[in-house]
Chains A and B, each alone.
Chain A
Amino acid sequence: MCVLSILKSGKSYGYEIMKELEKFNLELKGEGSIYPILTKLKEKKLVQVTRELTEQGRARVYYELNQSGLQYLEQSTEEWISIQQDIQALLQTHNAWPKEERK
């Protein structure tokens, strides 16, 4: 979901996506990196994959969100927000929510 949301802003490549995730403290260290996730998205046909040459003449694989990916992202985001709201409600009911954020 996080990777797809990055791709919603435009096409990107593995290393760049990884750096973007790190900006939001979503580091994948110790979890085998971003690449298996990208492969999975490709297998599920949620992204379009293109190979382009860089200025240095190296081939770089770019990932771009397609229509199915966009639908999947919207659906997953809705699910995630719903789950988050349910958990928040539960924590608030049982006084486990941080005090400064409680009403």
Chain B
Amino acid sequence: MTGTLNHHEQSYYDRVMSLLNQYGASARLREQAGSQLLEHMEEAKINGESFQDALGTPEEFAFEYLEQDDRAGFHSSPYSSKGAGDLAAPAAPALINHAFILFLCAGLLFVYYTVLQAISAMYMTTSLVIDNPEFTFNLWYRISDQPWFNLMLVGTNALIAAGLTAVTFWLIRILRNRSRRGGNGRPSR
């Protein structure tokens, strides 16, 4: 699709895409920005104008899209004091966001799995009440003295824990999107 672009247009396009990617813009937004950018470049070419006159720098163009996507750290305008050139600064907000999500995911998975294992050990095995010197109980990977039953419980609990974690994230995302939509009622330009 970008085959007809000249060097300047291609580098502008690449820079915008790279910034959107770097700051964690959604695939849908990247695709939209890319197609609109290409459309504008073609229209400007037909009208004998420079495409960049209306778009500004790649940083300015990318910033407007990122602000729309409510990316972390892009709620206030960079024009007020620093300028959009500072977009080139490290993508800390997106990285912190990803790290936090990963940490939360691992934490939830661990809690769900532990609770499920404890419930299974209490109600589905006799390992907590029968004293068997040959059996070493471990809440996370050995809750039954029967290896096949233990394997089945561990596998089932791991799957259920993963499912519950996914559902929890889905609910968090829905609630977050609802609160975002509710909070942004300012009129557009």
Contact = CB atoms under 8 A, between A and B. Distances in A.
A70 interface: no
B86 interface: no
B187 interface: yes
Contacts of B67: 36
Contact of B187 (A29, A60, A76): A76
A58 B42 contact: yes
A33 interface: yes
Question: Which of A30, A33, A34, A43 lies at the interface centre, i.e. has the most chain B CB atoms within 10 A of its CB?
Answer: A33
A33 B56 CA distance: 7
B189 A14 contact: no
Interface string B12-51: 0000000000000000010011011101101110010000
**Number of chain B interface residues as a range:** 20 to 34
Contact of B32 (A29, A31, A39, A80): A39
A35 B37 contact: yes
Contacts of B175: none
Given A40-B188, A76-B187, A32 B64 contact: yes
Interface string A10-37: 0001110010000000011111111111
A91 to B, nearest CB: 22
A79 B187 contact: yes
Given A14-B36, A60-B39, A61-B36, A33 B188 contact: no
Given A15-B47, A41-B188, A76-B187, A32 B39 contact: no
Contact of B189 (A27, A37, A58, A60): A37
Contacts, number: 81
B61 interface: yes
Contacts of B37: 35
B36 A38 contact: yes
Given A14-B43, A15-B47, A37-B189, A32 B36 contact: no
Given A18-B54, A37-B189, A32 B44 contact: no
Nearest to B63: A32
B20 to A, nearest CB: 11
Contacts of B47: 15
Interface of B: 29, 32-33, 35-37, 39-40, 42-44, 47, 53-56, 60-65, 67-68, 79, 187-189
Given A36-B33, A36-B67, A37-B189, 16 more contacts: A1-B187, A4-B188, A14-B40, A15-B43, A30-B56, A32-B55, A32-B56, A32-B64, A33-B40, A33-B64, A34-B54, A35-B36, A36-B65, A37-B188, A39-B68, A40-B68
